[in-house]
Chains A and B, each alone.
Chain A
Amino acid sequence: MSRDLSPKSLLGVAGAVATAVACFLPWSLYAGFPGKMLNTGFPGGARMYVLLLALAAVAVLLLDPPGRVRGMRGAAVWALVISLLTALLIGYAGGGLGKVAAGAWIAVAGSAALTASAYLLDSSSDRDRRVWSLPDADWRMPAEIVITLAMAGLALYVFVVGLGIPTSNVASGPDHTFRDAISLNDVTNGSEFLAFLFGIIGLFLVAGRIGLTASLGAITQRRRPALVTGATLAAIAFPFTQDGSPYALRIAASIGVFAAAAVGLNVVVGLAGLLDLGYIAFFGVGAYFAAIYSGSATSPIHVHLPFFLVIVLGALVAAVFGFVLGAPTLRLRGDYLAIVTLGFGEIFRISVNNLDGQSGPSLTNGPNGISNIPDLGLPGGFSFGDNHHLFGVPLPFQANYFFLEIVLVAAVMVAFLRLSDSRIGRAWVAIREDELAAAATGINTTRLKLLAFGLGATLAGAAGTVDAHVVKVAAPDSFTFIESTLLLAAVILGGMGTVPGALLGASVVYLLPEQLRFLHDLRLLVFGLVLILMMRLRPEGLVPSKRRQREFHERDDRSGALDPPPGAHA
């Protein structure tokens, strides 16, 4: 196809140029708006993301890759959203639109022109997305390795930037309502995070629509060792980017626990297709086990077991619970299993609430939970509670727990990946696809479902023992139904049956409410909305397994429509 330079395209080019130039101009007439809006020159904050999106849009327009117009639309729309939102917020926080500098308006106008051009162009002329590969030459392998490592670096960079955006930390309580909540400061802080979020979404859309994501995915899949090395290096490097600040490390460690549990749940839900709504209870069993035998003063049992023993025993106890619950109930239909597991989760929460010596035997210290869990130590005198200096970078003690998390997540990931591509994993998928056919093919469906359920419980138990030491407390409130649903949301948002999906999903589900703190009490509201929209727009998750993707998009291939045909039934 020739590069058409019709008026429609020229409008887009002009818009992109105007937007890009505007990003080097000040957007605000007063200091104090975050994200560096004042300087002339290299842009910061929201301007950076608008610039990237405008450049991406015009690059797609001119280079004409497959999926050209749709890719361009993705970038243009989000550039417009960010610039408009930022301009309005600058005005709102500054006390009037007069406080908005011309640069912002130029950017709005430019990205509007870009968007108009993208929608005037005909997307039906787009060629189908394809997977690119590098030419077959001597340098192909090293180049692919470099690309793979770069992807890991990029992921680390995005993670650090995302976590580094300041948020306000005002406590929210049940009695806060909208009116006494959001302050000016919150608005401006939030604007930078939203610009970041929307920028990532826009760039992700472009990359996906022109086939870049699929191509990079194929490359990284081919270079597994490089991918593993890169990911490990990126994870280890993370604490060194924090300049001694514990805030992001604490969040990252929590994401790690959450991700490990999500991968475990992925065995149950993603592979075997069993709907477990009480998964957090198994996690809680591990956490309470670790807490009770941690030597904490608030534990009624004053026995301190070594941590390595605690991980193993905690996982085993959780496994026993899994088998005891699963053995009689796994014969049930899927949705019945959901309610039984939900019930088990509630029984667990109520039990730990009541085992305080008054409403029941003394074991869990009731609603207060077991707190002040002492720091872990390693046999050589190393305490996880100590701060360190390494390569001249201060590492707060939270980094120790972060490294422990990396080990845990890595172990769970390896187990998941190897299982999913094995006799057992294939049998699970077969059961999920057609249980009767699986039985007729020689699979003992009851036994394998029980295995998935028990193994999921085991992994959750192990993650729970670590969690107790990371957060230093095990209390009933941490193991409620909502936690189970958040885990499930992480698995499904990320993409069922894949490890990167579970990691990404865990990060999103954990970080989003965290970074939406500027919304105060509205953050859960927005989170609920995000869940709904996400299922509407991308039900297969952010990183779907190939199998899942096919499952969800079989209709697209035929009709080209995103929605299933009317009247199709679940």
Chain B
Amino acid sequence: MQLFMQQLVNGVVLGATYGLVALGYTMVYGIVQLINFAHGEIFMLGGFGALFTYTVLLPSGTPVVLALILMLLGGMAVSVTAAVIMERFAYRPLRGAPRLAPLITALGVSIFLQELVRNFYPAKSPRPFPQLIPPDYLINLGGGVTINAPKLVTVIAAVVGMVALSTFVRRSRTGRAMQATAQDPDTARLMGIDTDRIIVTAFVLGASLAAVSGLSNGLQFGTVDPRMGALTGVKAFTAAVLGGIGNISGAVLGGFLLGIVEVMATQYAPSPLSGGAWANAWGFVVLILVLVFRPNGLLGERVAARA
């Protein structure tokens, strides 16, 4: 039981990362029906932006809390800038084209960003990330179940980010405009909503959350790597689809579910299919099964065939 609870906690931590990144996929998809495959790279850039802020911009001896805040801002700045440039110059010109064209563009952007960081960010990979929150500081959750400080921070950051986002989307003027645009872009435009601005907003919000995730990921594992965005990106997109793409709560739910499934399968799947080697496969198996029985994801709405 203790082992099970411990694994549950580990799954939630993993799921927090997936969920945060998944929100970026789901928002952009909900509004422009684009699978932004480069979003994983935005997550990666967030990690590198934070690292750059720490190693280059911050004087040594900066208090930890201040350093963390500035690193987060630095990471967000990098992620958001990249996302806005990407939207403006790669995706926007293709908005009228069939959906395969932007998809290839997304893959191109993904390769480009990955290689850009790999070639031009100083020092070899994987790059060490400062362990500002000591990983050996364990918090007892009762019953022998523990979580270390960076992981706890990851979960807290994820929950705060998710709540902030859903509040923003439901309460703010811009958020409601986003919902309107997602429902029917043409009508939204007729109602005076600047849909271009709304789309950029979706990219910006997604990038900000990805940067949060990139920073917490670095704190958790102590390294960042230019290639880390690819797999996390695919997993996060899986999480978004699992929950029902376009649905914000769905992305969060899908993220946690995927994280828990991976961790649990690693522990409990029948040998020899358990263990880390198969972990990544289990997530996709669950995805396929969920979609077979709920073709629109867990919280996705039925898209009625129109006659």
**A residues in contact (CB < 8 Å) with B:** 174-175, 177-178, 269, 275, 325, 328-329, 331-336, 338-340, 342-344, 346-347, 350-351, 353-354, 358-361, 436, 481, 485, 488-489, 492-493, 496, 521-522, 524-525, 527-532, 534-536, 539, 551-552, 555, 563-570
Q: Give the dominant DSSP class at A's interface.
A: helix
Chain A residues with Cβ below 8 Å from B189 are 567
Q: List 21 A-B contacts (CB under 8 A).
A: A174-B118, A175-B124, A177-B118, A333-B296, A336-B291, A339-B237, A340-B291, A346-B280, A346-B284, A350-B280, A358-B272, A360-B273, A436-B305, A527-B111, A532-B109, A532-B112, A535-B104, A551-B98, A566-B196, A567-B189, A570-B102
Query: Closest CB of chain A to B264's CB: distance in Å?
Result: 17
Interface string of B74-85 (1 = CB under 8 A from A): 000000000000
Chain B residues with Cβ below 8 Å from A340 are 287-288, 291
Cα of A178 to Cα of B272 in the assembled complex, Å: 42
Query: Closest CB of chain A to B206's CB: distance in Å?
Result: 17
Chain A residues with Cβ below 8 Å from B32 are 569-570
Q: Are B103 and A347 in contact (CB under 8 A)?
A: no
Cα of A352 to Cα of B303 in the assembled complex, Å: 37
Q: Which residue of B lies closest to A350 (CB)?
A: B281
Q: Which of A275, A339, A521, A552 has the most CB of B within 10 A?
A: A339
B262-307 at interface with A (beta carbon < 8 Å): 272-273, 275, 277-278, 280-281, 283-285, 287-288, 291-292, 295-297, 303, 305-307
Among B7-15, B87-95, B150-158, which stretch is in contact with chain A? B87-95
Cα of A528 to Cα of B102 in the assembled complex, Å: 13
Chain B residues with Cβ below 8 Å from A531 are 104-105, 107-108, 111
Query: Ordered nearest first, which 9 A-B pairs have the shortest CB separation?
Result: A564-B96, A531-B108, A343-B284, A528-B112, A528-B111, A568-B96, A525-B115, A532-B108, A539-B101
Number of residues from B at the complex interface, CB < 8 A: 67
Chain B residues with Cβ below 8 Å from A332 are 291, 295
Q: Are B101 and A492 in contact (CB under 8 A)?
A: yes
Cα of A140 to Cα of B189 in the assembled complex, Å: 56
Cα of A315 to Cα of B241 in the assembled complex, Å: 31
Cα of A558 to Cα of B242 in the assembled complex, Å: 42
Cα of A288 to Cα of B287 in the assembled complex, Å: 25
Query: Closest CB of chain A to B232's CB: distance in Å?
Result: 13
B177 proximal to A (CB < 8 A) = no
B159 proximal to A (CB < 8 A) = no
Q: Are B95 and A564 in contact (CB under 8 A)?
A: yes
Q: Which of B111, B189, B281 has the most CB of A within 10 A?
A: B111
Q: Are B275 and A532 in contact (CB under 8 A)?
A: no
Q: Which residue of A lies closest to B303 (CB)?
A: A333
B5-36 at interface with A (beta carbon < 8 Å): 29, 32-35
Cα of A174 to Cα of B127 in the assembled complex, Å: 13
Query: Closest CB of chain B to A541's CB: distance in Å?
Result: 10
7 additional A-B pairs beyond A336-B245, A567-B189, beta carbons within 8 Å, are A178-B120, A329-B292, A346-B284, A350-B278, A492-B101, A569-B32, A569-B186
Chain A residues with Cβ below 8 Å from B107 are 485, 488-489, 528, 531
Cα of A328 to Cα of B97 in the assembled complex, Å: 29
Chain B residues with Cβ below 8 Å from A178 are 119-120
Interface string of B153-184 (1 = CB under 8 A from A): 00000000000000000000000000000000
Q: Are A535 and B95 in contact (CB under 8 A)?
A: no
Q: Are A275 and B105 in contact (CB under 8 A)?
A: no
Chain A residues with Cβ below 8 Å from B216 are none
Cα of A275 to Cα of B94 in the assembled complex, Å: 18
Cα of A177 to Cα of B124 in the assembled complex, Å: 8
Cα of A432 to Cα of B32 in the assembled complex, Å: 20
User: Which of B94, B111, B186, B297 sits near A539, CB closer than 8 Å?
Assistant: B94
Q: Which residue of B lies closest to A531 (CB)?
A: B108
Cα of A358 to Cα of B277 in the assembled complex, Å: 11
Query: Closest CB of chain B to A528's CB: distance in Å?
Result: 3
B100 proximal to A (CB < 8 A) = yes
Chain B residues with Cβ below 8 Å from A564 are 93, 95-97
Chain B residues with Cβ below 8 Å from A334 are 99
B195 proximal to A (CB < 8 A) = yes
Chain B residues with Cβ below 8 Å from A492 are 100-101, 104
Q: Are A496 and B119 in contact (CB under 8 A)?
A: no
